[in-house]
Chain A
Amino acid sequence: MEMLSHDILIVGGGGAGLRAAIAVAEIDPSLNVAVVSKVYPMRSHTVSAEGGAAAVIGPDDSLDDHAYDTISGGDWLPDQDAVEAFVKEAPRELLQMEHWGCPWSRQPDGSVAVRSFGGMKIERTWFASDKTGFHMLHTLFQTSLKYDPIQRYDEWFVTKLLVDDGRCQGVVAIDLATGKVHGIRAKAVIVCTGGCGKVFPFTTNANIKNGDGMALAYRAGVPLKDMEFVQYHPTGLPFTGILITEATRSEGGHLLNKDGYRYLQDYDLGTPEPQPVLRSMELGPRDRLSQAFVKEQEKGRTLQGPYGDYVNLDIRHLGEKIINSKLPFVRELCLKYENIDPVKELIPVRPVVHYMMGGIHTDILGATPLEGLFAAGEVACVSINGANRLGSNSLTELLVFGARVGRAAAEYASRQKGNGAAVAAQAAEEVERIERQYLSGGGKGDKMVDIRQGMHAAMESGAGIYRSKASLQKSAQEISNLQDRIPGIRLDDSSQTFNTELVAAIELSYMLDVAEAIIASASQRTESRGSHQRTDYPDRDDNDFLAHSLAVRKPGAAPTIEYLPVTITRWPPGERVYGR
């Protein structure tokens, strides 16, 4: 079959993918780089990030402080060499965004303003009011347009990585507008497809967050690392799961139970003060706050609504002026989607699946164990986030590691010659597989919605904020049963033109593979650390589990789990202390 060809192919056009593309174009304009994205790049989920991006800027701050906050926030699971590189390169990357036109909020004298954020002991979060991800994504996308070597395949959906001779050499992708399936050769492939929040029923994540890149790599034999670490953000709107940014709390918002009591004081997070205190109470880390909600729920001190239990977030005392200037999007979202005005009313919130700490196993440059395959952003696990990511580290991460992976892939690609004939045959096989499996009408009649809801139920009941051996075993069985039903899915739509049902079916198969890895990794980790809380193993166990899990796919069976020691440089494992 006829193959398209590029030097470097980037899968995913969100923040990490665009930053990587620009890095490639800047380091070597002779390289032919293309971005394949299943949505137009400015639709990517980076757009939804609200609060900000962390990097040391003030004279009272230090790289070591940012590193310590990140490492303790991650419950000592982050690799400290990666964290040190991250905090060191972070200020330069955010400054680069400033030069590219990102509308950072400013101090009266015109310098960049920063705000406090959960788990950070010094104010170092750069922000563009409360639409930081939106402004970063549009700035990156618009800036990327000035680089001629960057080509795009907008609304192309990748179904397979092409691997031959131990090297990743391209992808197979569907051009959604025409339905035509293409093979694309590349000397290096960079996966930047984001996370997989949609494996859970209640999530802040957009419809496009299906773990595509994780599953593509997993199927190509690349381990998924630390997949048991799923971040619940403590403040999502009930029903929709719309995120209410942590910036509400850094500006001084309070979390209240049904008695109007700031309940976090009962969970070793400090004592309530009228003004926000860094690394304390509402500015504690997300994992601890979400866990406190569950404990409060067990005590019967949450409120009951039509979409489950909730607590209240109170920002009324900030006043209309601060809310309008610092949190305008929060007000807009509350007014439009909950019909409440946070200037006068309490905001109902509950924990909501938000972010994957785990992902494709990469080294500090973004290279995976599969030669020619790279990854960055939420899809990857370097790891700087460990067992719990701090708010405002992820936007910075996609810049720092997007740039790093672009440079590493450029260096790698410039050393490669063309690729072999075998990938064309593989691509032809994939075209045939898609036709046979999804479009030939051979399904036995399973509706996708049933499988998707089954997956959601299994993940929420078995692999949520608290897990146990029994709950995980049950969910593992359910996910395995659902995987068996994938070949029998019945599609109504056999059209070539923009077949969104076909895309959704393949995404569902991706999500089940990712769900399998999450559950297997959580089952094997018989300790509690950060966001991974086992009711049957409530303590952290540094003897056995100061290590990253690596889930390796075994088709037709549960994945095997291996472990890789955490890299410790200067911060020996200690107690996570907040509010005291």
Chain B
Amino acid sequence: MAVDSLAGNAAVVAGGEMVTLEVFRYRPEEETEPVYQAYEVPVHKDWVVLDALNHIKDHLDGTLSFRWSCRMGVCGSCGMMVNGDATLTCATFVESLLPGPIRVGPLENFPVVRDLIIEMNDFMEKLESVKPWIIRDEEKSLEDGAYLQTPAQLADFKQFSMCINCLLCYAACPVYGLEPSFTGPAVIALAQRYNLDSRDQGAGERNAILNTDEGIWQCTLVGECSVVCPKDVDPAAAIQRYKVSSTLQWYQKLLMPWSGK
């Protein structure tokens, strides 16, 4: 996006109004404990919190570190805690947080690499663990053309395919905070995205991974994941649906042990 270099010309809300950002700082080579550092930033009508952070980086303190890329809410890089809420900083307007101060920290429930940058290896491993790809008993060859999938069949899983992996739901999830082994909202929603895809036959394989305490059963249905999700993926619904279908499968197996997967 173009914001950084146009910032100097941006329309100012009130002449010279400033706001204080209190930003979480942690540099492992310099600090043993995190500190909050205050920066005074001009108030611009069109600025989001990410623009304010970039202003700090460009003009006040080049050492402040954070991830960002698309500035249009689709790459999933810039999730942080803003005044205690997990949010995409590219979609949170400074004006909505006045008069401040605005407190910006790294996403909760993750180890901090530095400043606002969290360590996300755990999430990446979990994402891979649920086999998020189409699994078929028999692959159809390309020569046989496309799978038919009606708009209604597409709608069955489309919502769960909208996740941008921004990790806000992990920062908001009290269970993940206490039990880091919990698979967590986004990854369960992703597993459901494939389970519910009419082209996929891998639900049984994924069930072996997910139908465990760490998988889905640790979820206590607090529902914060769906509240903070910027893309309306509704992971809580995915988990609930998964629990219901797993329970049904369990009963089915109990009553009809010959009934396959």
Contact = CB atoms under 8 A, between A and B. Distances in A.
B113 A497 contact: yes
Interface in B52-106: 57-59, 61-63, 65-77, 91
Which residue, A154, A447, A449, has most C-beta atoms of chain B within 10 A? A449
Contacts of A146: 131, 133
Contacts of B4: 449, 452
B157 interface: yes
Interface stretch (B171-179, B192-200, B219-227): B192-200
Given A96-B142, A495-B29, A500-B65, A106 B151 contact: yes
B26 to A, nearest CB: 9
Given A103-B161, A177-B113, A206-B75, A453 B5 contact: yes
Contacts of B213: none
A491 interface: yes
Contacts of B151: 105-106, 108
B113 A493 contact: no
B1 A493 contact: no
B153 to A, nearest CB: 7
A163 B29 CA distance: 34
B250 to A, nearest CB: 27
A278 interface: no
B63 A493 contact: yes
B62 A99 contact: no
B2 to A, nearest CB: 4
B6 A106 contact: no
B164 interface: yes
A499 B65 contact: yes
A111 B165 contact: no
Contacts of B113: 177, 497-498
A92 interface: yes
A242 B72 contact: yes
Nearest to B151: A106
A201 B2 CA distance: 6
Contacts of B243: none
Interface residues of A, number: 70
Contacts of B145: 95
A12 B79 CA distance: 22
B3 interface: yes
Interface stretch (A3-11, A43-51, A467-475, A536-544): A43-51
A163 B190 CA distance: 42
A555 to B, nearest CB: 27
Interface residues of B, number: 71
B258 interface: no
Contact of B71 (A112, A207, A332, A456): A207
Contacts of B153: 110
A39 interface: yes
Contacts of B66: 500
A456 B157 CA distance: 43
Interface string B155-168: 00110011011000
Interface string A452-467: 1100100000000000
Contact of A201 (B6, B68, B76, B124): B6
Given A43-B75, A146-B131, A306-B11, A241 B2 contact: yes
Residue of B30, B70, B76 with most partner-chain A CB within 10 A: B70
Contacts of B120: 40
Contacts of A493: 62-63, 65
Interface string B124-145: 1001100111100001101001
A207 B63 contact: no
B97 to A, nearest CB: 16
A546 to B, nearest CB: 34
B149 A106 contact: yes
Given A110-B153, A499-B65, A145 B133 contact: yes
Interface in A477-505: 491-493, 495-501
Contacts of A332: 73
Interface in A189-221: 201-208
A499 B114 CA distance: 9
B148 interface: yes
A109 B150 contact: yes
A492 B63 contact: yes
A303 B124 CA distance: 47
A504 to B, nearest CB: 8
B75 A108 contact: no
B203 interface: no
A457 to B, nearest CB: 8
A336 interface: yes
A98 B147 contact: yes
A134 interface: yes
A131 interface: yes
A47 B74 contact: yes
A208 B162 CA distance: 22
Interface in A69-100: 92, 95-96, 98-100
A161 interface: no
B28 interface: yes
A496 B29 contact: yes
B116 to A, nearest CB: 10
Contacts of B29: 495-497
A563 interface: no
A497 B113 CA distance: 8
Contact of A142 (B65, B133, B139): B133
A108 B150 contact: yes
Contacts of B61: 492
B142 A99 contact: yes
A566 interface: no
A48 B70 contact: yes
A42 interface: yes
Contacts of B77: 39, 43
B248 interface: no
A267 to B, nearest CB: 25
Given A103-B161, A110-B153, A206-B1, A239 B10 contact: yes
B32 interface: no
A337 B72 contact: yes
Contacts of B216: none
A530 B142 CA distance: 36
B208 interface: no
Given A201-B2, A336-B91, A495-B63, A95 B133 contact: no
Contact of B74 (A131, A201, A352): A131
B117 interface: yes
Contacts of A491: 62
A306 to B, nearest CB: 4
19 contacts: A39-B67, A40-B165, A43-B67, A95-B145, A101-B199, A108-B151, A110-B149, A134-B164, A135-B161, A142-B133, A177-B119, A239-B6, A240-B2, A241-B1, A242-B72, A307-B10, A497-B27, A497-B28, A498-B117
> Which 6 A-B pairs give the minimum distances between C-beta atoms?
A492-B62, A110-B148, A241-B2, A449-B58, A142-B132, A493-B63
Given A47-B76, A131-B74, A240-B46, 13 more contacts: A40-B120, A43-B67, A45-B75, A99-B199, A108-B151, A112-B146, A145-B128, A145-B132, A239-B2, A241-B3, A449-B58, A497-B113, A499-B65
Interface of A: 39-40, 42-45, 47-48, 92, 95-96, 98-101, 103, 105-106, 108-112, 131, 134-135, 138, 142-143, 145-146, 154, 177, 201-208, 239-243, 306-307, 329, 332-333, 336-337, 352, 447-449, 452-453, 456, 491-493, 495-501
